[in-house]
Amino acid sequence: MKKPSKTREELEAAIRPEMEDISELPTDLAISVMPCEDTWKVAIIRDGPPDPERSTMIEATADKLRSQFDLKS
The model's confidence at residue 21, banded by pLDDT at 50, 70 and 90, is: confident
Report, as an integer, the average pLDDT of 39-64.
Answer: 88
The model's confidence at residue 26, banded by pLDDT at 50, 70 and 90, is: low
pLDDT beyond 90 at 10: yes
The pLDDT of residue 24 is 64
- Exposed (0-12), middle (13-18) or buried (19+): which is 11, by Cβ within 10 Å? buried
**17-26, 27-36, 54-63: lowest mean pLDDT where?**
17-26
The domain total for the chain is 1
Assess contact for 71 and 8: CB atoms under 8 A: yes
By C-alpha distance, which of 61, 66, 60, 13 is closest to 38? 66
b/e map 27-62, b = 16+ CB within 10 Å: eebebebeeeeeebebebeeeeeebeebeebbeebb
Where in the sequence is the domain holding 39, given as residue range(s)? 5-71
pLDDT beyond 90 at 65: yes
